Chain A
């Protein structure tokens, strides 16, 4: 896959919703942004990091918008230009390509929009491998690369440059700026080269995302379509209860799914994304692996914000891949990193669950 065109967009959205793991924001406005960008600027070139000059700087891009604000105030056309100028002020050379950060329903698409707007190619990779909610939960962090300096711009032309000795402070500083930026900002973070990307990012993030989406759409949303990616259906039942509570500023929740023959109960703890799946008191799978709810009647992969009591759902686990299952990876993105006092449990293989 060398170019991403209009015909690829819906596969990308579908795959990104799977990699969203229950979160990642509303895809509609970003999808419309990408549609218009490709219609205006032509198909976006995807490049392998290894095909760029190793010392060429790249432009990592993530939209930090709160979904309920982003649907009202999604990006204009000058944020990408302003952001690139801010970043390149501190670089010896111009950026050679855009780098996706988070492969979710919003942020698998926004970097492509930016690439189209700036006339740059987009690296066919990302640095999270699935949606995580914090900007430091990336393979770059595992490699010891700091998130700072972090640049953020908003639609009105406000901008910030944030620097701090550790990533959690950078993150906290960004959260404190967001309320004054309308809760929507376009962000660039991590000062890296194409060589860093070639060394640290694994294969074909966006292309793989589109393959997942194509497989899912080819099966009308049935989890069977994802078997080739290691997906396993753990449970099928009806959503019986859905509880939300806000702890420490972050909305969290628990949903309970019941099956009737035989009687089983599954509990999913979530905070934006689905974090832990527990059946009859036993933890079955946790982050960093993917846990998704597929609507059994419509085939839609549900985000936690869309789940309704009474829906019939399949609970589907999929391995995240990469180096997330190392002790450093689990410390950064396992359940305990989200404040849940359980050890990580990897997604079962198809054999373990009886195929």
Chain B
């Protein structure tokens, strides 16, 4: 195990990369600017679309001809992705020689460019929107109050079907599988991704997962499915907005992840690819399509170090989401551009994996202690699923949130587990 890691701060204009060793010492750094040649001339070729199937890397593969109709709606690699990949490939080849590159264990990229598509709604393709919560919530259809241009761009088939879970884990209604299937059929060949949001999903994801199975069967592995229990947060509408925005950029994120992986291979870097999220933690690239909006703020997150959370939600593209905003403290000189990019690259290379649980736990027989134990365990497991080494993952302080007007025994708990990314294994 070499302990060599690479961190890259990447925008459409510049890539800044650092090579660090197992002691986190910076061995090398390099920066490249976008060339004046069209990006298409230097892109590594059309990436395989089946490289990531719902978060699991399955290796190069040819898309199943039966499902080809679902890719009809997507164009080839966007010029924007090609430009990013070009910068990535160049900065890697300049950063270190081939033998060194071959020994790199992990490469972490901080970029929010794929999500930037939200600022250009005309470039977005429609997404399917499935809410599992009827007969509740029908007084607010999906996309209510959205900026009109953005809503028009993302609106594909929309369905609000029976299902979801109540606070105590009981079903609000049985999952209406027939309606899910009808929605899935309406999505065939018409959407680039699907967003699924169910009432009570963070605590009870089973209806979302069953819907995912049905949709995967109908749409094939090339249509990303973004489910709200993967993005977390309290509030059905906020989570729904988050998964709809996430689904709208999921193809761009997936395309970037696939193309970046190809670029690594071409550059002789045989390493796991991780991406930085807005709070500065990292996750395996294949998991980014489960929560595409997590990439928002990645370069700042990487540069900042430990974030301080402020508030309950952020507005993205004029829509309220379940992403928790981070308090931007006074920015010290060291992290302002251009040195900010170096800090971002270093932050990316040294970034840790984390998992956060933020939910209301209703007292069972074990009372509050059991709730706390469950929350701690879930956070730890989530961090490990995102790459944290089980031997060194640390569960942080359990914070209790305020709850009001509630006549049953329960507690709102928030806890984050964090740890260094496991050195070997993972998604290889």
Residue ranges of A at the interface with B (Cβ–Cβ < 8 Å): 23, 25-26, 28-29, 32-33, 35-37, 39, 66-69, 71-78, 113, 117, 133, 155-157, 175-176, 178-179, 182-184, 244, 249, 251, 253, 272, 304-306, 308
Contact = CB atoms under 8 A, between A and B. Distances in A.
Interface of B: 133-141, 144-145, 164, 166-168, 170, 172-173, 199-200, 234-238, 310-312, 320, 360, 400-409, 412
Contacts of B400: 244
Contacts of A36: 139-141, 144-145
B143 to A, nearest CB: 10
Contacts of A75: 136-137, 139
B68 to A, nearest CB: 38
Contacts of A244: 400, 402
B153 to A, nearest CB: 19
A35 B145 contact: yes
A133 B405 contact: yes
Given A249-B407, A251-B404, A72 B145 contact: no
Given A33-B139, A69-B166, A156-B173, A74 B406 contact: no
B237 A29 contact: yes
Contacts of B234: 68, 71-72
Contact of B403 (A33, A35, A178, A251): A251
Contact of A182 (B134, B172, B236): B172
Contacts of B237: 28-29, 32, 71
B135 A155 contact: yes
Given A67-B404, A76-B135, A183 B167 contact: yes
11 contacts: A28-B238, A29-B237, A39-B144, A67-B405, A69-B167, A72-B234, A73-B137, A73-B199, A78-B135, A179-B407, A182-B172
Contacts of B404: 23, 25, 66-67, 251, 272, 304-305
A39 B143 CA distance: 13
Q: Which of B137, B139, B402 has the most CB of A within 10 A?
A: B139
A28 B235 contact: yes
A26 B403 CA distance: 11
Contacts of B310: 308
A172 to B, nearest CB: 10
A179 B363 CA distance: 13
Q: Which of B140, B141, B403 has the most CB of A within 10 A?
A: B140
A125 to B, nearest CB: 23
Contacts of B412: 68
Across the A-B interface, the 10 shortest Cβ-Cβ residue pairs = A155-B136, A76-B138, A182-B166, A71-B235, A305-B402, A175-B407, A272-B404, A73-B136, A32-B140, A33-B139
Contacts of A272: 404-405
Nearest to A156: B135
Contact of B199 (A72, A117, A175, A308): A72
B140 A33 contact: yes
A66 B408 CA distance: 10
Nearest to A311: B310
A135 to B, nearest CB: 11
Contact of A251 (B166, B167, B402): B402
Contacts of A69: 166-167
B403 A305 contact: yes
B139 A156 contact: no
Given A73-B133, A306-B312, A37 B139 contact: yes
A118 to B, nearest CB: 13
A14 B136 CA distance: 26
A28 B233 CA distance: 14
A245 to B, nearest CB: 10
Contacts of A66: 167, 403-407
A11 to B, nearest CB: 16
Nearest to A39: B144
A325 to B, nearest CB: 25
Contacts of A68: 167, 234, 360, 403, 406, 412
B406 A183 contact: yes
Contacts of B168: 179
A73 B236 CA distance: 8
B210 to A, nearest CB: 18
B139 A71 contact: no
